[in-house]
Chain A
């Protein structure tokens, strides 16, 4: 027997057994819940209409805008005010504080670990009296909308594993990204746009920083239907979406119809779920041919909106422009909008670089939150701002009066959230006076993920996918919902 025939038979036997089991069970369940389903295939349609199969409780947030700050923003220059570091400037980090923490290859060879304080002034703002650095003048004005978590910690010490850990719950690659999990668990809110949309921008703080790669918004072992779709700046926001020249919309439709027929034949024969995924992706792409240009075209935005987001927002591909697009996507009910802003990795020349980098994000972030608010969207949209880890309290490289650098620090860093069910004007967690260890309410990356899922109405322990004999979930085997930051 040749191999193809063998595979064919094998597949059929499996399918038969699988279908027998699922079919009978499904029939029994269906007849209990909806006797009418025997009369026709209505059940499947019903699932398409109300796809939230993983809605475990009433959600506080319907959509998420995740402003990922790639590179590891320095919490010590931005949010976590530690005057002791300035007082002890130049002194070595005490071993009692470091407690044998492993170092990256970049500072492991350093003989001394001289403490260095922020060069930027801190002040308290708003009714909540939250500490903010002068690097974030616009964000400082909206601290009463924000919920700071100053005690986030992670397992990884290098960019790739740390970002992968935040996005997929595992330092190893191959798991689905957070947005893919939501797409899988909760489904789409808008059939004309991808449920998981991704926007990238490069920072001015360190323009040649590490690149990002599409597996960060990959679907892992979930159906490819759930992978993130990257929106680019420029003529083609989504690649290969436009019809080639001289192909009309009708031609495209006809082509898709015929191809759909062929694909359905193929699916009936082989039963590969990827075929039906591909089919619905073609259909989605067809609908996106109109919806994407309309969403990405910001010509209808009035001038004062551009003024609000800052001058950068007129330049496609900048963080500010992406924030504006994020609002437009949120207005159109895209479930998970992921922004990445690169360039926070200030190992050296930190003071100068972080100034530029903060300027990139400060005004636009504040504007996005305000803009969502005035449109009545902030109540059920969760905005998340944060990087993959923090930065060390000691200097990397040479320290001068005006210049220093900081290495990666996984043991504490700050994130903030706004809207969608988190407490406004609230700060959670504390670090020690050295800004090195957490002294109160530690929040692990898995806890952040569990909390985000909770806000979206999903129990992080229940949304699973069986793959290679094991049920996987975003929070792996950990994660506790941080109840104290929920409204």
Chain B
């Protein structure tokens, strides 16, 4: 009786669906397809529950036959429904290749197997009863295969194993010029925002962005882009439609392309005829240079943060300390009073790794306290203007490879002191106003060491 009823309902449903599909292929019908991912989980859950109950009751000795039958009926019904909805979903297109076929047939097989299980559980035949458990295991295996290929369709083939694979260590690109516009930039954009639905297994709209080759093939609506003409390119057009437009890409609710990414895509299309798309060979604009900064590995300065107690003690001595970046512990240290603390700069040794910029200008700094500067290996910028230092202090800086800018106007520094430091450290700028260094010396040194030496305005020409 139960079987008949169930069979009739299912048959009616099947017939109804196929009549619908043959008569009208409307939006309501396609919406049913979208319910596939919802419905498909119901039979799986029920099946696993029944398996659990079956094993448990075999151990415990009390077998709740009616519950198992009902639950298998539930599972069989929704498995069939999932097959039907899945078929409708596949009609939308975009799912190509063998993966869909495997999912399709294993899905139907699962539904059939579950239905057979249901029938088995209804029967009272002893031989058939013995078959029940092995049959159940086969069914579980089949539904696992179907489920797996289903997930490959939705999430891509390496979704499951993504975190298991060892990360390939590619040497990071550190200069903008050596970036390849497609491989390192455009593909990265696709990879992060588009490839989930446009890959070789799930080709929504017939478009795959998995490789440059597949991109060039375009999709169902034609070519994805027109060379050197971003304005005429479908890819960009769809991405720049208002988000409320149903053709907008990526679809509403998915991570959207940023302004910078859109700009880069447009720039790439407009330069897509170049044989070598490394940035070094392209016309440079400032926007390009700025936007590409996100795609290079900037050599990370990893300066540890100084401890709070050290910072407090330095503050008490009168030093002002400020962060120079939110990303590391590098600091900028200034001293605001004329008279340095009694122990001079010794306290700075505690943050010798952290000091990136140091301003000791306008203090009573002299050569007998500056030896600590030798240890400031991360120092980039040093102000020692209006102090009593001489060339001796400059010689302490010889080993500071990071040093770039040196400000010592109004001091007794001479040519030999400056030349000594220039020959040891690659400075970019030197501020030497009101020192013994004159214009002729400066221009010689500027040429020899490729540095800018600022001698100030010639005092009264204004």
* Chain A residues near B (Cβ < 8 Å): 34, 36, 42-43, 45-46, 49-50, 52, 55-59, 62, 138, 189-192, 304, 307-310, 331-333, 363, 366-367, 370-371, 373-376, 379, 423, 457, 483-484, 486
Contact = CB atoms under 8 A, between A and B. Distances in A.
Of B285, B311, B322, B454, chain A has the most CB atoms within 10 Å of the CB of B322
A482 to B, nearest CB: 10
B462 A45 contact: no
B336 A333 contact: yes
Contacts of A367: 462
B12 interface: no
Given A58-B325, A304-B459, A46 B308 contact: yes
A366 B320 contact: no
Interface residues of B, number: 38
Interface of B: 285-287, 290-291, 308-309, 311-312, 315, 320-327, 331-332, 334, 336, 362, 383, 385, 405, 407, 409, 429, 431, 433, 454-457, 459-460, 462
B235 to A, nearest CB: 24
Given A333-B336, A363-B462, A366-B462, A375 B407 contact: yes
9 contacts: A45-B312, A49-B308, A49-B321, A52-B323, A309-B462, A333-B334, A374-B456, A375-B407, A375-B409
B323 A374 contact: no
Contacts of B455: 374
B76 to A, nearest CB: 50
A49 B308 CA distance: 9
B286 A50 contact: no
A379 B407 CA distance: 11
A370 B312 contact: no
Contact of B312 (A49, A333, A371): A49
Contact of B323 (A55, A370, A371): A55
Contacts, number: 104
Given A46-B311, A58-B324, A304 B407 contact: no
A486 B290 CA distance: 9
> Interface on chain B toward A: helix, strand, loop, or mixed SS?
mixed
Given A45-B312, A52-B322, A57-B326, A331 B462 contact: no
A180 to B, nearest CB: 19
Give 5 nearest A-B pairs by CB, closest first: A374-B456, A376-B407, A58-B325, A376-B431, A308-B462
A190 B315 CA distance: 12
Nearest to A307: B460
A486 B287 CA distance: 10
A45 B321 CA distance: 13
Contact of A189 (B308, B320, B407): B320
Given A42-B308, A373-B454, A190 B433 contact: no
Nearest to B325: A58
A64 to B, nearest CB: 15
Nearest to A37: B308
Contacts of B311: 46, 49-50
